[in-house]
Amino acid sequence: MHEADRLTLARLPSGVEVATRIHRYGPDDGPHVYVQAAQHGREVNGTAVCRRLHDRLLERDLHGQVTVVPVVDPLTFDRVSYTTPAAIDGVNANMNRVWPGSDDGTLHERMAARLWEDASVADVVVDLHTGSPDVLTHVVYMAGHEDSRRLANAFGSDLLLAEMAGDEAPPAWERRGFDGKFRVAAAREEIPAITPELRYNKQIVESAVETGVEGVLNVLRARDVLPGPAPDHRPAIAHDHAGMVSATDSGLFRPAGNLELGDRIERGTPLGTVYDPTTYETCQTPTAPHDGVLYALTREATVTVGDRLASVAIVDESG
C-alpha cells in the first residue's frame, strides 16, 4: 500500500505555493514511523535515501505505517543552501530552529507547523541529515532520553552522540536556537527521535545512501514494522558539542597525515598545522582537547579564524 499526496506548506507573497510530497506506506494501524529529509537543501543524500527506501518498501509487507517526506524545505532545496535568504524568512532562516512551528508565525514556522501535524502522531521519528565528507557518519539523540538512545542504537552507526539540551547544554545551545530542532521538539513530546548525520552533501554518494537506507530499515525492524531482528550493534556513545577545535588564525590548514575519522586519540594529539601562505610561518598547531573519538577533520585547506578544524567526542565508557 502506497499513497503520495501533494502537501502545501506555505505561500509566498506572490501567492505561489511552497509545496512538497508526503508518502505513506503500509496500513494505518500498528507502529508508525515518520522519516524526513532535506531540511537543509544541500543535504541531498537524505533525499536519495528516501527514493531508494521507496523501492524497498514497495517490495515488502509492512506491519505498520511509514510516513516519508523526502524534501522538507523546498526553499533551501532549490537554492542548494543551508538557510533561506533574509527576503524569504529574515527571522528564522534555518528551518531546524523553529519546531514545532506556528500556524501564524514566519514562513519557516508555518511550514514546520504543517509537517508537525504528521510527525507528532508518529511513534518514532527519523530526521535525515548529511554533513561534509570530513565528518564520520553518526547518529545524534537527546542525552538522557533512553527511548531515543535505543532508537539511535538500532540505526546501526559506529558512533552515537548524546546532545545535552536546555540548562545542561553549553552556552551555544541557547545562542544558536537549538531548542527549536526537530529532534528536540519531538523528544520533549516523548516521541523517540534521532538525527542520523550521513557523510557528504551536494552530491549523491552511493555509500552514504546505502548506509542511510540500511539504517532506516533497521529502525523499522526494531519497531516491528518489518519482520526480523535489528542487528545487535554496540556503537561508541559520546557527548556532542564537547570537543570542537577551531582555527585561532586564518591561513592554510594541513591536517595530520596519520589521522583517520573514527580514530581513538589522546589529549594533546597533533591534528595538523595552520600556516601563513605568504610568510610560511606556523600560525597554529591544534591538538586534541581531550581523549576521545575523532569524528570530524576538515580537509579544506583555506580556513578563516573561527572555522572548525576538527571535533573530538568524549566517549562515555559506561554507555
pLDDT given at position 173: 62
pLDDT at 317 over 70: no
pLDDT given at position 229: 83
Confidence class of residue 177 from pLDDT cuts 50, 70 and 90? low
pLDDT given at position 234: 77
pLDDT given at position 180: 93
Q: Which of 151, 177, 174, 176 is nearest to 162 (CA)?
A: 151
Burial class (CB in 10 A: 0-12, 13-18, 19+), 290: middle
Give the torsion sign (CA, 75, 215, 230, 260). negative
The pLDDT of 17-46, averaged and rounded, is 96
pLDDT given at position 37: 98
Burial class (CB in 10 A: 0-12, 13-18, 19+), 86: exposed
Q: Cα separation of 75 and 106, whole Å?
A: 14
The pLDDT of 18-30, averaged and rounded, is 96
Q: Cα separation of 109 and 104, whole Å?
A: 8
The pLDDT of 77-90, averaged and rounded, is 92
pLDDT at 240 over 80: no
pLDDT at 318 over 60: no
Q: How many degrees, rounded to 5, is the angle at CA 182 between CA 178 and CA 188?
A: 85
pLDDT mean across residues, the chain: 92
pLDDT at 241 over 80: no
Q: Point out which residues pair with 142 in neighbouring strands.
A: 163
Q: Which of 132, 87, 110 is nearest to 18 (CA)?
A: 110
Q: Cα separation of 303 and 215, whole Å?
A: 33
Phi then psi for 65, rounded to 5 degrees? -105, 140
Distances (CA, A) of 202 to 142, 213, 309: 27, 18, 20
Cell numbers standing for residue 311: 571535533
Residues 6+ apart with CB under 8 A from 166: 173, 179
Q: Which of 195, 185, 176 is nearest to 131 (CA)?
A: 195
Q: Cα separation of 63 and 66, whole Å?
A: 10
Lowest-confidence range among 124-128, 162-166, 187-191?
A: 162-166
pLDDT at 10 over 90: yes
Alpha helices in 171-254 (DSSP H): 172-175, 182-188, 206-222
The pLDDT of 300-319, averaged and rounded, is 87
pLDDT in tens, 197-237: 999 989 999 999 999 999 999 999 999 999 988 777 778 78
pTM: 0.93
pLDDT in tens, 33-70: 999 999 999 999 999 999 999 999 998 999 999 999 99
